[in-house]
């Protein structure tokens, strides 16, 4: 950590600041420039010290050289983390595809979609039972019943399942039914939810907040990791920018950046990342080319009648199947394996 003084600071004030720093049991190393003075803090400082320095008079800027997250950092864990769920290894060289509808609507709907998702070659069934909606009058999901329907469909067709959990109170019930718990973009900094997920043993797919920096994203992951749950996947799902033609701007550079800063698997969501069906295929391929460990893609058998209005970004089943075949060819050029003829996953 470095503190940069104002250009008008006095020697007395520098001495006071150094004295304050040393009370924290770390060393202060003063380096006077022609214009300003730089104080280096050497040793492991408490976060509180940085915060205090930042607000002390005479200090213009405090730059943390260490990162605010540790367990999520590649420095801490140099090898890629691999999350193994019933033999599906996320982050381990196998491209993992999660496909399915925005929302679970009925047993028939989710069963039929699961069949198609499996037939196309994907490994995970996605579907929402609790839906975060901008306004209170929109369809909010069918709740626990939907969890049951999806669990049955997954088991029948040999697919893992992933579903979104919105509030700490529902973590346990979601964990009972689904193999992976998803934290949505609006909840990336719902810290009570993150803390609760840190106490489960279910893998978590954490979506990037639509205006979160990489550092904030990894700090949110750190909440879950620090709670004791090491099984976190990061998901880039588009950020909010001035461009409104697409629903979001899918930030594909996030994939190599996150993989360099962190050991956690990185998944891309081209459906929410673009909000437009015709962009899902090119952006899926681009995600894999950029190094994604997996994709989460919306597919619906009847997008015109989806209950959430997200049909506009859902692939038709035949588009989904075609995409899987293209990815099977593309994956090996991107250091990944992907086999659309894999055996069903055995779900207990």
Q: Tell me whether residue 256 or residue 344 sits nearer to its own copies (CB atom).
A: 256
Return the SS3 of 332. Answer: helix
The helix or strand, by DSSP H or E, that contains position 63, with its residue range, turns out to be: strand 59-63
Task: Tell the smallest beta-carbon distance from residue 318 to its own copies (Å).
Answer: 14
User: Which is nearest to 299 in space by CA: 317, 275, 325?
Assistant: 317
Residue from 15, 19, 25, 51 that binds its own copies (CB under 8 A)?
Answer: 51
Binders of its own copies among residues 154 to 173 (CB under 8 A) are 166-169
Q: Which of 99, 121, 294, 303 forms a contact with its own copies (CB under 8 A)?
A: 303
Site stretch for its own copies (CB under 8 A), options 77-85, 104-112, 172-180, 191-199: 191-199
Minimum distance, C-beta of residue 32 to its own copies, in the bound complex (Å) = 8
Task: Write the CA distances from 101 to 88, 130, 182, 277, 343, integer angstroms.
Answer: 21, 13, 14, 13, 22
Residue 304 CB, nearest approach to its own copies (Å)? 5
Is the Cβ of residue 102 or residue 160 nearer to its own copies in the bound state?
102
Choices 80-88, 156-164, 281-289, 340-348 (CB under 8 A): range interacting with its own copies: 281-289
Pick between residue 30 and residue 347 the one whose CB is nearest to its own copies: 30
The position carrying tokens 């899987």 is 324
| Tokens linked to 327 | 């990815």
Residues between 203 and 262 that touch its own copies (CB under 8 A): 210-211, 213-216, 219-220, 222-223, 226-227, 239-246, 249-253, 255-257, 260
Where do we find the tokens 């090898």?
79
Q: Is residue 17 within 8 Å of residue 47, measured between CB atoms? A: no
Residue 296 main-chain phi, psi, to 5 deg: -120, 120
Task: Say whether residue 139 binds its own copies (CB under 8 A).
Answer: yes
Of 86 and 138, nearer to its own copies (C-beta) is 138
User: Could you give the CA distance from residue 110 to residue 114 in angstroms, rounded to a whole number?
Assistant: 6
Find the Cα–Cα–Cα–Cα dihedral 127, 131, 132, 136, rounded to 10°: 160
Per-residue x/- marks for its own copies, 89-128, CB under 8 A? ----------------------------------------
Distance in Å, CB of 299 to its own copies, minimum: 13
Binding status of residue 32 toward its own copies by CB under 8 A? yes
Cα(37)–Cα(91) distance, rounded to whole angstroms? 45
Which of 235, 245, 243, 342 minimizes the C-alpha distance to 297? 235
Q: Least distance from C-beta 347 to its own copies, angstroms?
A: 29
- Chain center to CA of 218: 9
285 binds its own copies (CB under 8 A): yes
């Amino acid at each position: 950590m470095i503190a940069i003084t104002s250009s008008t600071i006095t020697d007395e004030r520098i001495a006071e600041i150094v004295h304050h720093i040393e009370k924290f049991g770390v060393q202060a190393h003063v380096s006077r420039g022609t214009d300003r003075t730089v104080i280096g803090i050497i040793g492991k400082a408490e976060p509180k010290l940085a915060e205090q320095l930042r607000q002390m008079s005479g200090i213009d800027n405090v730059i943390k050289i260490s990162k605010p997250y540790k367990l999520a950092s590649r420095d801490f864990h140099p090898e890629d983390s691999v999350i193994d769920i019933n033999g599906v290894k996320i982050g381990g060289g196998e491209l993992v595809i999660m496909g399915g509808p925005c929302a679970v609507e009925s047993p028939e709907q989710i069963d039929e979609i699961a069949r198609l998702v499996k037939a196309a070659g994907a490994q995970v069934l996605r579907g929402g039972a609790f839906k975060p909606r901008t306004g209170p009058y929109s369809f909010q999901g069918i709740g626990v019943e939907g969890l049951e329907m999806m669990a049955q469909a997954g088991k029948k067709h040999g697919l893992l399942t992933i579903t979104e959990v919105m509030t700490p109170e529902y973590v346990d019930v979601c964990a009972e039914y689904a193999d992976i718990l998803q934290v949505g973009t609006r909840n990336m900094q719902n810290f009570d939810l993150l803390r609760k997920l840190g106490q489960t043993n279910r893998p978590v797919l954490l979506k990037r907040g639509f205006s979160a920096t990489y550092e904030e994203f990894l700090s949110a992951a750190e909440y879950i990791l620090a709670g004791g749950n090491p099984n976190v996947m990061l998901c880039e799902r588009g950020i909010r920018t001035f461009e409104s033609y697409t629903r979001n701007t899918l930030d594909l550079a996030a994939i190599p950046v996150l993989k360099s800063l962190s050991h956690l698997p990185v998944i891309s969501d081209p459906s929410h990342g673009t909000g437009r069906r015709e962009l899902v295929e090119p952006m899926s391929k681009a995600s894999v080319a950029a190094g994604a460990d997996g994709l989460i893609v919306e597919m619906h058998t009847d997008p015109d009648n989806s209950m959430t209005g997200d049909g506009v970004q859902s692939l038709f089943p035949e588009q989904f199947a075609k995409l899987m075949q293209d990815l099977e060819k593309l994956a090996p050029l991107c250091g990944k394996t992907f086999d659309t003829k894999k055996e069903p996953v055995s779900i207990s």
